[in-house]
């Protein structure tokens, strides 16, 4: 029932959604459709899927619970912001072939590693966070 309410609100915003020109604006429209038990990860995932259809992609890294933990492990410090610029990450993330959405997935998977161990990201698959 919750997802159905969320979807109905999104459908009601289709005109606004069709006019967005940036991922950030799209995410804001999606977030405006908030219903109980729908949170930041669902907003981000929904916006990335709609954005892919509209060919609008994230220009920065959006931090929800998993990505925040991953980037805090990577940078060894607390992050208070809800977004992160690619330039704030180590050089390996500066490769333009890696999208901000790819970085979000990597950071989410990093959050699942124990402590600071250097483990392989076994079972890594896009969208599993």
* Dist. CA 24–CA 58, nearest whole Å: 7
Please report the pLDDT score of residue 114 as a whole number: 67
In this prediction, residue 78 carries a pLDDT of 95
Backbone torsions φ then ψ of 27, nearest 5 degrees? -60, -40
Strands of the chain (E only): list them.
Answer: 61-62, 83-84
**What pLDDT does residue 1 have?**
84
Residues of the chain with pLDDT under 50: 116-127
Burial class (CB in 10 A: 0-12, 13-18, 19+), 107: buried
- Helix, strand, or coil (residue 40): helix
**pLDDT, position 113:** 81
SS3 83: strand
> Which position has the token pair 């990201």?
121
Q: What is the pLDDT of residue 129?
A: 60
For 78, phi then psi, to 5°, come to -75, 145
């Amino acid at each position: 029932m919750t997802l159905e309410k969320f979807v109905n609100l999104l459908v009601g915003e289709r005109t606004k959604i069709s006019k967005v020109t940036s991922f950030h604006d799209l995410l804001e429209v999606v977030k405006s459709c908030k219903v109980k038990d729908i949170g930041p990860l669902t907003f981000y995932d929904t916006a990335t899927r709609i954005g892919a259809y509209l060919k609008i992609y994230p220009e920065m890294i959006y931090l929800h619970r998993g990505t925040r933990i991953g980037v805090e492990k990577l940078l060894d410090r607390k992050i208070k912001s809800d977004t992160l610029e690619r330039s704030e990450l180590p050089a390996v993330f500066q490769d333009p072939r890696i999208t901000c959405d790819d970085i979000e997935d990597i950071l989410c998977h990093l959050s699942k590693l124990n402590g600071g161990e250097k483990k392989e990201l076994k079972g890594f698959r896009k969208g599993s966070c």
